[in-house]
Amino acid sequence: MNKNKINYIFKVALIGDSMVGKSSIIKVLNNDDDIMYTRTIGVDLHLYETIINNKTVQLQIYDTSGESCFDNIKKIYYNNMDMIIICYNVNDINTFINCKKYINEIKRNKQNMILIGCKIDTPINRIITYTDAKEYGALHNIEYMETSSYKKIGIKELFNHIIISLKNNIDMKLFNS
């Protein structure tokens, strides 16, 4: 990887209730196999670099705590992101209901967002179906994707998708300017 030249830098934040699996997504993205629970305190910053279409892209990923005692710290970051990833656990209805709160807040700040259903590896425990979540996202004009950190499903795809759509937005603006 060319360390000297970064062509694109994007800021991305993960938000959602505690224990939904936000930090585990970042661990899998960084090929770390230890996804035991370690409570996030406030906000952790991770850097991730990849090459897409011969361009080096750096993601600055802000992994936030789901605990409400850190809400004030987290809000500082919301205004300043290229993309906010709202995570819920497909096996826990409350974490899905709480997405409404996050969506409203992000809409108020006019930020880009994507909705992610986590922990799709235990179908027997699943409460929110793919179709329900997809329709819910469409209702709010938000794309929907799913992941499993345990089975390493959907994570590289999620970040590639985000990078390509942010990169296309920039390229389009440059082309039209």
Ligand X SMILES: Nc1nc2c(ncn2[C@@H]2O[C@H](COP(=O)(O)OP(=O)(O)OP(=O)(O)O)[C@@H](O)[C@H]2O)c(=O)[nH]1
Q: Residue 95's binding partner, choosing from ligand X, Mg ion, none, with beta-carbon cut-off 5 to 8 A by kind?
A: none
**How many Å is the Cα radius of gyration of the chain?**
16
Q: How far is the CB of 128 from ligand X (least distance, A)?
A: 14
Of 25 and 57, nearer to Mg ion (C-beta) is 25
For residue 165 the two structure tokens come to 């759509």
How distant is the alpha carbon of residue 139 from its chain centre? 19
Given 23, 95, 147, 149, the residue binding Mg ion (CB under 5 A): 23
Please report whether residue 95 would count as binding ligand X according to CB under 6 A.
Answer: no
Please report the DSSP string for 70-124 in residue order: GHHHHHHHHTT-SEEEEEEETT-HHHHHTHHHHHHHHHHTT--EEEEEE-TT-GG
Q: How far is the CB of 38 from Mg ion (least distance, A)?
A: 7
Per CB under 6 A, which region of 31-39, 50-58, 127-135, 157-165 contacts ligand X? 31-39
Q: Residue 35's binding partner, choosing from Mg ion, ligand X, none, with beta-carbon cut-off 5 to 8 A by kind?
A: ligand X
